[in-house]
Structure 1
Amino acid sequence: MPRLTPTRTLIALALLGLAATTAVLLGSGPTHAEDSAQAEGPRPALTVATTQPQRGNVTQRLPANGNVAAWQEASIGAEVSGLRLTDVRVNVGDTVRAGQVLATFAPETIEADVAQARASLLEARAAQAEAQANADRANTLSASGALSQQQIQQYATGAQTAQARVAAAQAALNAQQLRLKHTQVLAPDSGVISARTATVGAVVGAGTELFRMVRKGRLEWRAEVTSSELPRIRPGAKAVVTAASGAQVEGTVRMLAPTVDPQTRNALVYVDLPAHPEIRAGMFARGEFLLGERDALLVPLSAVVVRDGFSHVFEVGTDSRVAMHRVQTGERSGERVAITSGLAPQARIVARGGAFLNDGDLVRVQAAPAADSAPKEAAAPVPQAQAASK
């Protein structure tokens, strides 16, 4: 076994002393930390700011869904049969006025019929003039006895028959002139053309639809409302309608449907809409009926935490621990929401950050910023003479 020199012996002793000191320090460290933690008590989970509910007015809103439709649609069809379309002057989307010519038919056939009816009228008038003259001559001879009363009566009846034939010929002429007028298809009212089936060169029958028009260009929102909510709505109430594109317009309730669908138990509410380029007939839209204002208990939106499908707020107790309360929320008013139940008016609740808390957590309440007691007075400038003397 090799002998230890004095130098090696000193080094070994120094290493042993260092190891013993390290062991003592490591052994005593956790004990001091635990003692410090126990002396300080439990640590707060979060530093929060608190607020109290406030009374305020909120607008009562009733959400609903429905379709946008035309207020009234006009079907414009052909009133003559067997004629060829020669001109179509409007297309889908065009705005027309009442009486404007939309399309024309070939008028040649009807013009010939009008000429024939006019000639028949002239012939009937000539025959009526002759019959009337014969009746007048027969009346002048009645006193002389040259003609019997039966013959005189026959001449008078002939004159009346000729007059009736004139009236019939006149009616036939009027009918043909009316057919000639119907060779021009006119707009029955002002509005917007929504559909067109008219084609140049087509031969259509009477009653065939050529155009469809949205009367006055007016649209309406037909909202579906449950029968239980229907009594809350009155004609004249306002409604805000949002289209699929996000465009919003404000409409007015025109009428409520007199019946309820027995299958869905919903009723239609008709809301007049102003003209808007992004709202068209046939679109689906959602909206809200504005039903007036009411007094409510309001809290910031940031104070409401949704868990398990329910709304909650955290109330701070006197021991700085929070208690989670389930509440019922109502209408929104800007950045605040109405609480309908579950919260006392004098409660002190966590204003924000509740998503990071649990029921019973200890929190540190942030102190409200202290207002300045008095504005500091501005230092008066030192006169130059005093400054020089100093």
Structure 2
Amino acid sequence: MNDTTMKTIKPLVLALAAAFCLQAGHAFAADEKKDAPKAALTVTTAKPSTSRLPITLTANGNISAWQEASIGSESNGLRLTEVRVNVGDVVEKGELLASFSADTVNADLAQARAALMEAEANAAEASANAARARSLDASGALSAQQISQYLTAEQTAKARIASAKAALATQQLRLKYTRVVAPDSGVISARGATVGAVVGAGTELFRMIRQGRLEWRAEVTAADLSRIRPGAGAVVKAASGEELSGKVRVVAPTVDPQNRYALVYVDLPAPKGRDAAAFKAGMFASGRFNLGASEAMTLPQQAVVVRDGFNYVFRLNPDKRVSRVKVQTGRRLADSVEITGGIDAATQVVVSGAGFLNDGDLVNNVTAAPIKPAAAPGATGGAGGAAKTAKLR
């Protein structure tokens, strides 16, 4: 083989060798990539944030009338001639509700007036006789006994006038009782009056919710009773979902020895509009007491996974693998949940995708937006509306 041939073959050999080495390198890299573990999921992570959460206490109880007025008959043996109101009617103080027949009372009233006039006429004559007797006392024309009789007759006549006036006042009062009027403003809740009925004194004709006001009688355990003070705010929720705000009026001084619950009386405003249909006396309702606010360590709701009845979060380790950690939860506000134990504020936990992970999974972490701390009621940013869903677990 001559020099010319060698010069031609040598570059070809070098090119083939380079191509072989390049192909071998690609094959080695492919094998190495094939052997590398794959991430189970792409997730976002975050650290717990500090938020100010409301402190609430949930309870159940009945809605009752604030005060009920029993409106009865004060007339005896009279016939009802008119009934003006029915159940559900709103009445004002002094409004006429029903009336009785006044014929008998008017006759007795006329008789009482005549008796008074007769007593006044007899008293005038007795007073004149007594005056003459006093003028003749010094002359001796009348005996001491006769003078005493005239003076006594005068006093008796005055007493008969007083008696006749009292009888007249009694008949005037009976006439007043023929008109049954509302003792206060409110709503008629029951009616027993029937036109044409002859009722006795003391018979209940109507029952009225005074001023239309209701109250929530919440049942609270003895352990939680000391946390509630008069004036504390409360939100009562009806079966329809409507809510009504009120204030604690008084805490019962005793606890029921049978169930160990005490009643807390919450004043509710007179319901109007949709609330009037949602809140009725006798209904069962749930509610919560607002007891203030406190600082809490929170995580987004989606970061907490419930498995086998327990709450867990997935902690991101330096090797990009996750560890399942059992945590204790507390209050909830909007999409945030309080973490009371299990992790600290420096723990990096999985937020998005936590529900699809298992202990030890390899994940690919991407940057997430910062977590906005939850705000307690009264804070800016519309937290007041979100606070309506908060409850103490």
TM-score range, shorter chain: 0.7 to 0.9
Q: 1:37 to 1:135 in 2, by over 3 A?
A: farther
Q: Which stretches of structure 1, 4 residues or longer, exceed 6 Å deviation after superposition?
A: none
Instruction: Please tell me the residue identity of whatever aligns with 1:355.
Output: G
> What aligned pairs does 1:249-328 form with structure 2 within 5 A after superposition?
249-274=244-269, 275=271, 276-277=275-276, 278-328=278-328
Instruction: Tell me whether 1:40 sits opposite 2:35 in the alignment.
Output: yes
Q: Tell me which residue corresponds to 2:95.
A: 100
Residue number in structure 2 paired with 1:150: 145
Q: Which amino acid aligns with 2:44?
A: A
Query: Residue 163 of structure 1 corresponds to which residue in structure 2?
Result: 158
Distance 2:258 2:37 in 1: 61
Moved more, 208-217 or 258-267: 258-267
Aligned mate of 2:73, from 47, 72, 78:
78
Change (3 A) 1:230 1:144: same
1:10 counterpart residue number: none
Query: Identity of aligned pairs, percent?
Result: 60
For 2:206, give the aligned amino acid. Answer: F
User: In structure 1, what is the Cα distance between the partners aligned to 2:195 and 2:341?
Assistant: 68
The amino acid that maps onto 2:219 is E
Letter of the 2:242 counterpart: A
TM-score, with length taken from structure 1: 0.82
- CA-based RMSD of the aligned residues comes to 1.8
How is 1:361-376 mapped onto 2 (pairs within 5 angstroms)?
Answer: 361-368=361-368
Q: CA deviation at 1:362?
A: 2.8
Q: Which amino acid aligns with 1:110?
A: V
Match of 2:127 in 1: 132
In structure 2, distance between residues paired with 1:36 and 1:248: 65
Shift of 1:341: 1.7
Alignment of 1:218-229 (within 5 A): 218-229=213-224
Give the letter aligned to residue 260 of structure 1: V
> For residues 151 and 37 of structure 1, do their structure 2 counterparts lie closer, same or farther at Cα, with a shift above 3 Å needed?
farther
User: Which residue identity lines up with residue 292 of structure 1 in the other structure?
Assistant: G
Pick the aligned partner of 2:179 from 164, 176, 184. 184
Give 1:194's aligned amino acid.
Answer: S
- Select which of 235, 241, 244 maps to 2:230: 235
Q: Which runs of 5+ in 1 are unaligned?
A: 1-31, 370-390
Q: TM-score, normalising length from structure 2?
A: 0.82
The DSSP-based 3-state class of the residue aligned with 2:145 is: helix
Question: Are the aligned partners of 2:317 and 2:323 in contact in 1 as well (CA < 8 Å)?
Answer: yes
CA distance in 2, matches of 1:265, 1:368: 49
The correspondence for 1:52, drawn from 47, 52, 72, is: 47
Residue 256 of structure 1 aligns with an amino acid whose one-letter code is V
Residue 331 (structure 2) aligns with:
331
Q: Please say which structure displays the higher CA radius of gyration.
A: 1
Contact 2:105 2:175 in 1 (8 A): yes
CA contact (8 A) 2:46 2:368 kept: no
State the partner residue of 2:357: 357
Distance in 1, matches of 2:35 and 2:195, equals 95
- Structure 1 match to 2:106: 111
What is the total number of aligned residue pairs between the two structures? Answer: 336
Unpaired runs of 5+ residues, structure 2, are 1-26, 370-393
Deviation of 1:81 (Å) = 1.0
* Distance across 2 between alignment mates of 1:37 and 1:218: 79
Secondary structure at the counterpart of residue 252 of structure 1: strand
Write the deviation string for residues 266-323 of structure 1: whole angstroms up to 9, x where unpaired: 1111111122322111111111111111100010011111222222211111122222
Residues 157-214 of structure 1, C-alpha deviations (whole Å, 9 max, x = no match): 1110111011011001100100100100010011111111111111111111111111
